[in-house]
Structure 1
Amino acid sequence: MHMNMTGSEQKNRSDSEAKDYHGQDGAICLHAFSDLSHTSPATFVYLLKECYTYGRRQTATQNFKGLQQYVSQALHNAPQPGPATFIVQCLYIVSLLGLPYAEGFSHLLMSSLRRLRSMGKFQNDFSKAKHLAAKLFHDILSSSIKHEERILIKLLEHFDLELKDIGEAICGSHLDGTLDIAKAFIEHHLSRFMDSESYVTAVTLLEHFSIRLSGDSLLVKMMESNQFTPAEKWATFMGKPMICLLVQKYIDMKMLKKAYDIIKKNYLQEEFPDVHHLYKESVLKKLAEKGCWDIAELRAKNNRQLMEYLVYLAIEYDYIEKVEELCKRYSLDGFANVTGMCLLSRLLQRTELSSLT
């Protein structure tokens, strides 16, 4: 239940939380967060590191979450020239810290940035920060600044970077051909992600910048590496021919459920008329293997072809009683001879076993 706290209670809570972040010498690191108007990104990152290092929370996760709350609040305290620009500047500094700080703090900063944007505030600053974000994207992609791939993707998402932004970061805003230069730059570095099988990142970049690759080699590589999610994303982006190839690959790999889902989602029943039936047969077979005959019967109940397939499964598993039961209940003809042969086979097997004892 949510309760409103009095001013005294809020102060006590704030004091209690502040005590969780004391330095070794007893000085409170967080005091500078109350006014960032004269705090440089380097100083801010240093304070983050100190607060995290000497935090008194029970676990590192609790320590991190508490610090994350303080950072989100601090970004409303006049960081210069604005919170979005300030965060991008901090990301440059954070990259110098190395593990484990760079990974954790970059996540913390990007989460705070996402919260700011979701609030709809500081839009003017976001526009101003876009050029610096594009420069950071370029520096990460070219490996001159070390950050995880997810920071690369989050920069794209939070600042909605376009090819022209990347081109301007490379060449400046007054040169012709910046779009082609940006596209060539991204395509050049995409091979690194593909070679390392970072297909999610590769496909995200290709899709975001609307870069289309000829041929089906990328899809084939992803399928061979069992990277099905980016493969589906890539096929959807490329269009119907690639989606059809994706379905065929799933069929070849006996992954009929995935093939059926893609067919249904993209209205490809005419292109693959047999897959739906094959998928239903595979479901019946799995149920039969588990001995779930009643459930299998319910699945096949309104489809004579599937019911006959279920009978064949019962014959395959030498479940003669089930064969007779299904044939009688659903008036299935043509199985009498098969049933008789199965009974004869069972009798012969018992006779052979008796002769051995």
Structure 2
Amino acid sequence: MTSTRITVKGDRPYDVVVGTGVLAELPGLFGAGVHTVAVVHPAGLPEIARPVCGVLRSAGYTVVELPVPDGESAKSVEVAAELWSAFGRYGVTRSDAVVGVGGGATTDLAGFAAATWLRGVEVVQMPTTLLGMVDAAVGGKTGINTAEGKNLVGAFHPPAGVLCDLATLVSVPRDDYVAGLAEIIKGGFIADPTILLLIEDDPEGARLPEGRHTRALIERKIQVKADVVGADLRESGLREILNYGHTLAHAIERVEDYHIRHGEAVSIGMVYAAELSRLAGHAGADLVERTRSILTSVGLPTAYRREAWPELRDHMRVDKKNRGAKRRFVILDDVAKVTRLEDPPEELLEAAYGQIAR
């Protein structure tokens, strides 16, 4: 099957290549003049980096392999500093490049290290998880975590290109794959209702890399993100809609010390945002019911611990969308009709949480 190219527009346009067995297209995503390529990949998954390095060496690049911790533990200033030191040792210059191979945490870290080394070197992202393909690796947002919250330190640094080889999804653990569906479903609720129809048509197939709608779901979600970030790279307005469900989700991740899958937290966060939309008088009960139904049909969670509310509330006060002391939430008037809720009263936030608490 041939590859699909989805162009992310903006000041520095680039392509997202989607297809099965498309690794050979990776060298074509680099700009001219690149000599050394630093390949950042999870230490626990050397097998995903080996063919990438082989293709790059065959194309004539000098390749440096840089393994990093698996998962969110990679997204720290300490690990970023180790990458900077390695770039220096191996002579990565401003005309060279970084490749991020792995899940969303790895591509976030690789992008941040590339953005900050020599004030910015080229990065190409090769996400190997569903979450990475449809969200983390596309859009140019890079970041690391701190004790105060997730992705609070970062930079906007668009990649030179993104390669999504669907063949890598076959080896993704089922629970991780299903968690990635949350970001696809989010894309349906904020912008592309066809995504929701495809999942409702075959929820069991949506849970499988070989599902009959899988490629369409992935490409549609990438297109949603490409359209948004192409119009608003730096999250000055439109791009905020991508944070639907994320205010509570990031708080849950903090409470769980990141020992919960991002997509599972986003799933709960979307139900909370739908309830908040309803209680604020913006959306009807049908939106809430459909949200719960779709998420449940693919095996995603829709509720969280009742006693966690005070801690979650405190964490939500530290959110990138907030302006000064005012809290801001992305909510819906209906499917694909996004709006913002400015500084809602505490009672409303707690009431919405009461609807998802267990």
Per the normalisation by structure 1, the TM-score is 0.26
Larger strand share, 1 or 2:
2
Specify which structure has the bigger relative contact order, considering alpha-carbon pairs within 8 angstroms and separated by 6 or more residues: 2
Bigger-Rg structure (1/2): 1
